[in-house]
Amino acid sequence: MVERTIYNDEQKMFAQSVRDFIAKEITPNNAQWEKDHMVSRESWLKFGEAGLLCMQVSEEYGGLGITDFRYNAIITEELGRSGCAGPAVGYPLHSDIVSPYIEHYGNEATKKKYLPKMVTGEWIAAIAMTEPGAGSDLQNIRTTAVDKGDHYLVNGSKTFITNGYLSDLVVVAVKTDPSKGAKGTSLLVIDNSMKGYTKGKPFEKVGLHAQDTCELFFENVEVPKENLLGNEGEGFKYMMTELSQERLVVALSAIGAAEGTVEKTVQYTKERMAFGKPIAELQNTRFKLAEQATEVQVGRIFADQCITLHCDKKLDQATASMAKYWLTDLQSKVADECLQLHGGYGYMWEYQVARAWADARVQRIYAGTNEIMKELIARHILK
């Protein structure tokens, strides 16, 4: 395999420490979290105590001030490789998708109120864009925020919200002026202390069983004006700006999961006996593993290029869309092929490959469906 060159020695040591932390604190608890439909709050606190949440947040707000995205990428990749999909989705979303909105667009009061507790894991964050009638089409959201002078009055609902049930705060996309379409969209921070804000029970999903995905409801919720992120009416622009990192995070989770699935399948085929010998000695098994290892290696090189581009602030939306679409497709393909190599055991939930197969499917849907990704890529190359 080609040696990765994007990480220096310090970052490689950090990767090993993250791997060790996951092996001790995440993997042994995953089965229980799947039964609970959520990761424990204790785990969030331990993740924060280890300095693995919102690393980029400045020391002024309790963070480490590490602005090199490679460290964030390592956490996402190692969580993906672990096969524990609940934490692999929830933690990076909190740190790399939600917190940048508050960091980049929040006022001083908002940053001081929310970021320190996000860093420690005391408060869990979510982002609410999708609605029952508006998924990938974010311009048509219907949740409204009416200006009442010193506050906004918010009404509407959101669905499929990752970290939703446990969340203490959520960045919500609202319409402050429905007549202006995308230009009437704004972003508000809503927290659990606000009356009229309620949550549905966690969904029963095909995969991501340890991830507390649910609906959110807003009925005459009074949101202070200081909780507006950036300028009124510029929320859609902010979302488009931040979505490149969001899609990269999903892509990195995908390639990490694909690598982990291949690694575990190689080991399984060495141990599983058929016709008097390990199935790793059968030609079909060997060829299938060779195919998956090759495609994962290609995906890894592309992912590393995207990390480098992002660190240099050169990752454009089209390339991020390519990474999200291609690597999540690859993740699903690898999981399916590796499940097949497990035979009937691959369909048993106790085997990690079954979880990998079920968990992979949603990756092609959220953060913008892969069909939307292709449309964005096409617009770029045909302009």
Q: Which residues are part of the catalytic machinery? A: 246
Nearest to 173 by CA among 201, 140, 198: 140
Beta bridge partners of 144: 155, 175
What are 372's two structure tokens? 């939307």
Contact of 350 with 344, CB cutoff 8 Å: no
DSSP letters, 103-115, are: HHH--HHHHHHHH
Between CA 310 and CA 245 the distance in angstroms is 8
Between CA 170 and CA 192 the distance in angstroms is 9
Greatest CA separation for the chain: 78
Contact of 271 with 265, CB cutoff 8 Å: no
Contact of 187 with 178, CB cutoff 8 Å: no
Between CA 111 and CA 97 the distance in angstroms is 15
